[in-house]
Each structure stands twice: as structure tokens, then as C-alpha cells.
Amino acid sequence: MRTLVRRTRTAMAAAFSWGALISGLCASPAAFAEWPEGPIEIIVPYNAGGSADRVARGLSEHMGEELGVPIKVTNRPGGAGALGATYFQQQPADGNTLLVMQATPYLASAIEVSGAPVKWKDFQLLSAQWNDYGIVAVHRDSPYQTLEQLLEALKEPGKVSSGIIVGNGGHLQTLLIMDALGIAQDNVRFVTYSGGAPLRAALAGNQVDFEIIGAEAARGIRDELRPLAVISDQKSDEWNAPLLNDALAKQGIDQLPLIGGNVTGLIVHSRLGEEYPDRYQKLLDAYRETLQSDKFKDWARQAGVGADWVPPQQSQALVDSAYAAIRQYAPLLK
């Protein structure tokens, strides 16, 4: 009798164990699947052809190989980046939807200027892949030979036009300069564009008098340009022009924040590392391996984009400081 009871208990325990295992497999098959299972989407909040779009398509091609799944790029333009950034934040923070844009100034401006219903703290930049300082540039046939001449012309209402993307670094930097010199905002005829490609085309075509644009992004039209100032704290070997703050010092202007350039890279939901640490690490490793590969670096040189690996904490600190300046001066754009 005791032997029968023991056999019965053993059989029941075995049946329960198999049943629990089968039940677990049926209830949560995703727990045993390796991420990523399917395509990953990169959102670009601008039209195709701009610098952020080029970065995204390069990552799509090369990082997809690292992750072993296709990466598709979706352009969602509108609101100077606000619509695409908002759409991105509406997606699950599971690593399947990523964002590529200029963390500064465009994402910061989308929040502080365009009023996107998102928060800066909800975004994390994985690497300051492309830190492109700005230049003050005019067409090569422009009558303005120096920054001082351009600034003098700004004092005359309606005389000078400038191409901008509303809320971008060039727009804000221009207003900071004008504010420091006591020049009214409506003195300049601002011509708005929806992306970097048409913005640069306008300057190259001599359709506007000046722009503040990214130095590397301007390489493709450099033969059409004359740089008047470099928006950096270091001299440029590529662009023969004085530093902005050095030139402004001659006008009696104190040091201004330098926000005329762009910091572009892959952005994730800030919750991703907490909610899906394994996915976050896998994505981070794939991104780092991509940026450090000779194949991607060769592609980046040909495409005219940056390919620097800067650790996440350092990258975020860089754009956090720029965001603080943009937040302080954003009321100038309203």
C-alpha cells in the first residue's frame, strides 16, 4: 500500500512539472525569444535628403547587419521635428522604435520652442556621433566680406534675409547675436525651410543673404560659400574665418552660448535601459561596433557625416548643457 502511494505521488509530481513547463511555454513564448525578432524602425522627423536622414540610412544599412534584422527608416516631418519626436515617444519603450535627429538644437527646440508635448528627460542620446559646429556663411558673391559688415547691415530693417529651420541652432544663434547688439528681431527677413537640404540649397543658390549652418553639412556646397565666423571655441583648419565670440568681442559683446551647430546621433527612450536592460545593451553594443567599423567609417566619409563613438553618459552631458542654454534663450523665438 505504501509503495502504491509513493508511486502515485511520484507520477503526480512528474505530471505537474511537465504541465507547468508546457503551461509556461504557452503563456509566455516571448520570454524565450531572442530580441530583436523583426524589423526595427528609425524615425527621422524631417524630409528625406537632410543630414539626419543620411545618418539614419547609413545606420539602417550597417547596424542592421550587426543586429541581424532589417532596420527601416520612416520620415515623419513637421513642426521642425516636433511631430516626429512626439510620435517616437508615443511608441513602446522596447527598443523596436528609435529616433535619429539633432538632439541639439532641433529636439531641444521642438520641446522648448515648438511646444512638443514631450519631455527632454524622456530621451537618451546613445552617442554624439556627429558633433558639427556651426559657421556664419554667405554666398561667395555676397557683398558682405566680414562678419562686422553683415552685423552692420542687420541694423537696417528688411535689408538682410536669412534661411532657417524654425527653432534650429542657426535661428536661435542669430537671435542671440541680434539681441546682444540691440537689433530688433523683425529687422531680418527670415525664410523658413523644412529641412537641411533645401536650407543649404537656398544659400548655395544665393537666394538668401546669410545662414548659420553646420560646418560639415556645408562641405557639399563649400565652393559656393564664404565663411564669416566659426561658431566654436576652437579654430577651424577647414574654414578660414574668426571665431564668433572673438569677432563679437570687437563689438563689445560678452561671450555668447555657442548653439549654432548640431549634435546628431541615435536616440532611445530613456526608460529602455531600466525596462529592457538586455535589449539596451545589445543595441548599444551594435551601435558602437557599427560606428567603430572600418566599413561604416568609409561610408561616413563618402556621405559627409560623422562617425564618432562617444559613450552615452558623456554624450548626454554634452547635449544636456546645450539644452539648458536653449531653454534659457528659447523665449527669444516666441
- Domain end call among 249, 280, 297: 249
The CATH number of whichever domain residue 169 belongs to comes to 3.40.190.10
Q: Does residue 288 lie within any of the structural domains?
A: yes
Regarding whether 154 and 209 lie in a shared domain, the answer is: yes
Q: Does residue 211 lie within any of the structural domains?
A: yes
Regarding whether 226 and 288 lie in a shared domain, the answer is: no
- Domain end call among 214, 249, 284: 249
The predicted structure's pLDDT at residue 244: 97
Distant-in-sequence, close-in-space partners of 132: CB < 8 Å, separation ≥ 6: 51, 214, 215, 216, 217, 261, 262, 263, 264, 306
| Spans of the chain below 70 pLDDT | 1-33, 334
The predicted structure's pLDDT at residue 202: 97
Q: Which domain holds residue 293?
A: 40-131+262-333
Q: Does residue 83 lie within any of the structural domains?
A: yes
Q: Does residue 8 lie within any of the structural domains?
A: no
Regarding whether 123 and 140 lie in a shared domain, the answer is: no
Tell me how many domains the chain contains.
2
On whether the pTM is more than 0.85, the answer is no
The predicted structure's pLDDT at residue 334: 66
Q: Does residue 5 lie within any of the structural domains?
A: no
The predicted structure's pLDDT at residue 147: 97
Q: Does residue 224 lie within any of the structural domains?
A: yes
Task: For residue range 231-246, list pLDDT tens digits in order.
Answer: 998 899 899 999 999 9
Regarding whether 239 and 151 lie in a shared domain, the answer is: yes
Regarding whether 274 and 314 lie in a shared domain, the answer is: yes
The CATH number of whichever domain residue 65 belongs to comes to 3.40.190.150
Q: Does residue 305 lie within any of the structural domains?
A: yes
Q: How far apart are the C-alpha atoms of 196 and 266, rounded to whole Å?
A: 18
Q: Does residue 284 lie within any of the structural domains?
A: yes
Neighbours of 156 (CB within 10 A): 10
Regarding whether 158 and 226 lie in a shared domain, the answer is: yes
Of 9, 5, 101, the C-alpha closest to 51 is: 101
118, 271 Cβ separation under 8 angstroms: no
Query: Among all chains, which residue has been given the C-alpha cell 566659426?
Result: 230
78, 70 Cβ separation under 8 angstroms: no
Distances (CA, A) of 123 to 61, 85, 93, 99, 319: 23, 9, 10, 9, 11
